[in-house]
């Protein structure tokens, strides 16, 4: 059974078809990489799945529920967590409070006015931070963290509602190569432990080929390939979009 099913998803901005009739599935527990050159439509695709952008046409299904037209917060409540391309945490809170906030929301306690928030779900929040290796920084203000650590905290936040699907838009953007590998290895481990499915976009091919169970490739809004690391690596169309044909300037010279 597939967890997430995308059917003929399309979105245009003005005259540009950013995402064009894209369909794919994610199976339970699958670690799926969405790759493609800049402007391929990866982020647009992501933002439609998490409810930030309404699709022009097509359907998004998650465990038998249609996501079209749902708000980000409702989609989250269905069991889909997410991390952002530019990490976003609550800067006026400590690291552990960031995670507690998500747990409070998950437990539907947002509108409570009495008990101090810092006393709620603290143990669980520390557990989650331990999973991403950030328990030592729990009581530091989150704005003081190094960028790589913020990414880890974000991951802990995203895991707070026990998601069955995790959407990660360039989880390693802005990180050093070593850090990248560590973070993705961490995600991969969590995925296997908890049976979460993950859809992530990534620019580092090393990371993608080393960890992804399956890879789908977008180029100019269209899905051009879908398969395991080897078949993608050998796919001539993928090679062409990534490396070009090497003929761009030959043509222009010929015109002169």
Partner 1 sequence: MSFNAFLFQALNGLSAASGLFFVAAGLSLIFGVTRIVNIAHGSLYMIGTYIAYSVATKVGGAVGFWGGIVLTALLVALIGAAIEILLLRRIYRAPELFQLLATFALVLVINDATLWIWGPEDLLGPRAPGLTGSIEVLGRRLPTYDIFLIFVGPFVLWMLHLALAKTRFGRLMRAATQDREMVGALGVNQAMLFTGVFALGALLAGLGGALQIAREPATLATDLIVIGDAFVVVVVGGMGSISGAYLAAVIIAEVKALCIGLGVVNFGGFTVNFSKLTLVAEFLVMAAVLIARPYGLLGREQVAVRSVAEPEEPLRPATPATKIAGLILLVVLVCLPLIAKSSPYTLVLGIDVLIAVLFATSLHFIMGPGGMHSFGHAAYFGLGAYGAALLVKWFAAPMGLALAAAPVLALVGALLFGWFAVRLSGVYLAMLTLAFAQIVWAAVFQWETLTGGSNGVLGIWPSAPFDTRGPFYFLTLALAALGVLLLRKFLFAPFGYAMRAGRDSPLRAEAIGLDVKRVHWLAFAIAGAVCGIAGGLFAFAKGSISPETIGVSRSIDGLVMVLLGGIQTLTGPIVGASVYAVLQDFMMRSTEYWRALLGGIILLLVLAFPSGIVGGFVKLISRRNTTSKAAS
Instruction: List residues near partner 1 by CB under 8 A.
Output: 50, 71-73, 76-77, 82, 84, 88-94, 97, 100-102, 104-106, 109-118, 120, 141, 143, 157, 160-161
Q: How far is the CB of 229 from partner 1 (least distance, A)?
A: 30
**Contact present, 224 and 37 (Cβ < 8 Å):** no
Nearer to partner 1, 77 or 222 (CB): 77
Residue 154 or 202: the one with the smaller Cβ distance to partner 1 is: 154
Rounded Cα distance between 190 and 195, Å, is 8
**Distance of closest approach, residue 117 Cβ to partner 1, in angstroms:** 4
Contact (CB, 8 A) for 5 and 32: no
Smallest distance from the beta carbon of 236 to partner 1, in angstroms? 38
Q: At what angle do helices 147-158 and 122-131 cross, to 10 degrees?
A: 120
Q: Please say which residue, 159 or 208, places its beta carbon nearer to partner 1.
A: 159
Q: How far is the CB of 233 from partner 1 (least distance, A)?
A: 33
The nearer residue to partner 1, 105 or 135, going by C-beta atoms, is 105
Taking the least distance from each CB to partner 1, the nearer of 114 and 243 is: 114
**Closest CB 104 distance from partner 1, rounded Å:** 5
In total, the chain counts a number of residues equal to 256
């Amino acid at each position: 059974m597939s967890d997430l099913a995308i059917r003929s998803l399309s979105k245009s901005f003005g005259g540009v078809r950013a995402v064009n009739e894209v369909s794919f599935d994610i199976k339970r527990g699958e670690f799926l990489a969405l790759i493609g050159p800049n402007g391929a439509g990866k982020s647009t695709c992501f933002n439609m799945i998490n409810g930030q952008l309404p699709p022009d046409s097509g359907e998004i299904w998650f465990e038998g529920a249609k996501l079209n037209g749902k708000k980000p917060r409702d989609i989250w409540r269905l069991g889909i967590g997410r991390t952002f391309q530019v990490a976003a945490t609550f800067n006026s809170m400590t690291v552990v409070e960031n995670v507690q906030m998500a747990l409070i929301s998950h437990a539907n306690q947002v509108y409570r006015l009495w008990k101090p928030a810092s006393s709620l779900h603290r143990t669980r929040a520390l557990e989650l931070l331990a999973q991403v290796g950030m328990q030592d920084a729990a009581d530091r203000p989150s704005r003081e963290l190094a960028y790589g650590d913020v990414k880890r905290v974000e991951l802990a936040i995203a895991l707070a509602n026990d998601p069955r699907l995790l959407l990660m838009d360039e989880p390693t953007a802005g990180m050093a190569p070593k850090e990248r590998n560590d973070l993705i290895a961490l995600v991969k481990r969590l995925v296997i432990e908890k049976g979460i499915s993950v859809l992530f976009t990534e620019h580092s091919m090393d990371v993608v080929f080393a960890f992804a169970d399956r890879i789908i490739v977008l180029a100019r809004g269209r899905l051009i390939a879908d398969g395991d690391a080897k078949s993608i690596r050998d796919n001539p169309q993928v090679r062409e979009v990534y490396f070009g044909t090497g003929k761009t300037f030959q043509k222009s010279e010929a015109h002169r």
